[in-house]
Amino acid sequence: MTTPTTVCFRHPDRATRLACSEYRRSICVECSHDSAVGQKCPICAGPQQRTRVVRARDITHANRSTTPLTMALIAINVAVYVIGELVPDLGQEILNRGAQLSFWIDQGEWWRGITATFLHGGLMHLAFNMWALWIFGPTLERRFGTIPFGALYLAAGLNGSALYHGLGNQAWAVGASGAIFGLFGALLLTSFRQRHTQVGQAIFSQLALLLGINLMLPFLSDRIAWEAHIGGLIAGVVIAFAWDRLPRTGAYLLLQRTIIALFVAAAALGTLILA
């Protein structure tokens, strides 16, 4: 079956069988512009169709309704801290039962490696971690999906707790820093190829600032659990590296990402229990 011959919409004297893939306008060879989805006419292929202004606010403050898990994690962390401040006795009880302590983990309370990531030792500690989650969580959740993002967050938090415990630290440890550093690691790897774009540059600038501050903190205070930071960072990099090897599309892409992250989480949990 052949395509009916007609005339170019800009050159009526020229017969053609080509058509714009956007609005099906008949076009001749001279008016045809190659695109990713066929050929386009000069109107559809014009600059106004190929470029779009991206504001800095759009990069860091996109619609938060599309990132429900990030918002839920922030809400839970803030709620736990506020409850502890308003009801000190209850706050102390939550701390006693949820903070990471090697002695109790050795007694079988492995869940402390998870619950400790929802506890914080002060307002500044909470504010810094939640600010980082507010900035970088939505980027990862939108890019990879809510469930894989949750698995990444869990794996990074567990891996941070596992490294802290595995190195024999006996002090109390709390905070979402291990999970946050997992997000840093994932973003560093997944944004590497976009470092020359506006979005990539914005992400790298923010990451450089936060990582620089966090790398300096252990030198300023011996109360910083740098082991949890490193553990979370490693988990984030490993998971993002594995994700990057997956096909870009596919019916089971979200499932594959989730399984990879949960595998890392399971390995961290096993290390936490057996170390």
Question: Are 13 and 127 in a shared domain?
Answer: no
Per-residue pLDDT, averaged over 206-217, amounts to 73
Higher pLDDT, 247 or 223: 247
Report yes or no on 166 lying in a domain: yes
The verdict on whether 177 is a catalytic residue reads yes
The tens digit of pLDDT for each residue in 131-162 reads 989 988 998 999 899 999 999 999 999 999 99
18 or 152, higher pLDDT: 152
- Answer yes or no: 165 catalytic: no
| Choice among 120, 125, 165, 229 that is catalytic | 229
Strand-pair partners of 7? 15
CA distance 203 to 253: 24
Q: What is the pTM of this model?
A: 0.74
What is the C-alpha to C-alpha distance for residues 270 and 208, in angstroms, rounded to an integer? 32
pLDDT given for residue 183 in this prediction:
93
Q: What is the spatial distance between Cα 162 and Cα 50, in angstroms, rounded to a whole number?
A: 48
Q: Taken in order 32, 33, 38, 41, is the CA torsion positive or negative?
A: negative
User: Would the pLDDT of 236 be above 90?
Assistant: yes
Instruction: Indicate if 83 and 183 belong to the same structural domain.
Output: yes
pLDDT in tens, 31-61: 777 665 567 777 777 544 444 444 545 444 4
Mean pLDDT of the chain: 83
Catalytic hit among 32, 102, 177, 191: 177
Domain of residue 94, residue span = 66-274
The number of domains in the chain is 2
Q: What is the DSSP code string of 97-136?
A: HHSB-HHHHHTT-TTHHHHGGG--SSHHHHHHHHHHHHHH
- Residue 204 and residue 257 share a domain: yes
Crossing angle of the two packed helices 123-144 and 68-86, in degrees rounded to 10: 160
Question: Is 240 a residue whose pLDDT tops 90?
Answer: yes
44 and 99 part of one domain: no
